[in-house]
Structure formats: structure tokens, C-alpha cells
Amino acid sequence: MTMRARWASLLLLLLAAAGTASADDAQAILQQVDRNLAPDSYEMYRKLINLEPDGTRKEFVLYTAKKGRDSMLGLFLDPPADAGRTTLRLGDNMWLYIPDVGKPIRITSLQSVVGGIFNNSDLMRLEFSTEYDAESVDDRGETLLLSLKAKTGAVAYDRLKMTVDKTTILPVTIEAYAASGLLIKTLRYKDIKDFGNGIRRPSVMETDSPLHAGYKAVMLFANIRDRDFDDEVFTLNYMARAKELR
């Protein structure tokens, strides 16, 4: 039995014994979801695909580096017109570096540097337990439903409803809501893949939104692996040099 399977079995025993789960139990599950999705510090490649109702399709390829709970750097590799653009997130703060501009520009979580349905929060997500408090967990048979509340107003979504597979402790779907209760989008995690070194997680994330009928976006994950980075990598001055990481 793998460590993840043992953790899942222990979780189910605790929930059964307690009858009801506390907010602390919910937060522990959320933290385990984070660890199952990726190591604490890592590098990965992603392809983003925006699909429009008329069949228009636009693709982006990014290299991403993350360190700890609050630092993430992204480098655009393709298409050629966007190659060299770099994004940086430090806590709730986000920047975009465009080579022709020559200096970082502040951006917000609700904007999108790629257009389409994925916003900057989706593209530069740190860890769910960094941005959200888990308020409750409900047993739904083969899945658990986590109710999450944003820790600050800087987070793109006020609340999330995350459906978690009990066996893998990985997300299946996430519904994202505004403070008004309006459903903004639904994220669907698919095609679990073994990336090696104990990383076994969905390789595809799809999203659609009732606010953008007919539009869809897909994120494909590849080559996720542990890597340590110097703190210098996650600074404004390093954004122009991000290509040195590859």
C-alpha cells in the first residue's frame, strides 16, 4: 500500500469514527490535496488551449517554477509572439514582464495574460490551502465535498466547492463562486498520470463558465518534478532572465 493509500484509509477511519468532521479535518484534507497535486517546490511545463464557439483555437506553452507556498514564476515559450514574456507571483502580488516593455507591470488575479476563461489566478495558483480556509467537509460516498472560503479579498474566487476523490485525495471538480453566490466557472480534473518520484495526479484540467457560453479552456500538465531554486529566481529583477532556468 502506498503512502497516499495509507493516508486515505486513515482519513476514512477517522471520519467514520467521528461521525462528523471538523474544520481542522477539512483543512488537513485540503493540505493533503495540495501535496498530492505537486511537491512543495517544483518545475513543470504546461500547454494552455483556448477554444471559442466559432472553432478558433489559441495555444500557449509555459515553463513554470514554484518555491514554497507563495512564490511562482512562469515563462512563455510559445507562440513565438509571446516567447520571453514572464509572470511572477509573490503572495497576493502578480507581475507581467514583456521584453519590448522592459520592466515588470502589475497585474491582478481576475485579469488574464492569455485571454479566454483562465484568469491569472488559475495560471499562477500557489496552493489551495495558502489561499483558502476549509470550512467543512461532507462525505458523499466515493467522494468528499470541501467547502472553501478565501482568506483575503485579493483571491479571485470568494468560495470554492471542491469534490475530492476519497481513494486518491485528488480534486475531481471545483466550482468557483463570487461573493454574491454567482457561479463563475467549473474546473474539471482528468486523466491521472504518473509523473514519477511519487507524483501521480491529473494531467488535464478543463474549465467552462456560465458567463461565457460556448467558450472552453484546457490546461495540459507535463514533466512535473521536484526542483530547488534560489530565492533570487522569484524577484522582479530576475524576470528578464527566466529563460536561464531551462
* Predicted pLDDT at 190: 97
Cα–Cα nearest to 98, from 82, 110, 112: 82
pLDDT in tens, 104-113: 999 999 899 9
Range of the domain at 103: 3-245
pLDDT of residue 22: 74
What CATH number did the domain enclosing 225 receive? 2.50.20.10
- pLDDT of 1 reads 41
How many domains would you assign to the chain? 1
Residue 14 CA to residue 9 CA, distance in Å, equals 9
pTM: 0.89
Report how far residue 27's alpha carbon sits from residue 41's, in angstroms, rounded to the nearest whole number. Answer: 20
| Tens-place pLDDT, residues 8-45 | 555 655 554 455 567 788 999 999 999 999 999 999 99
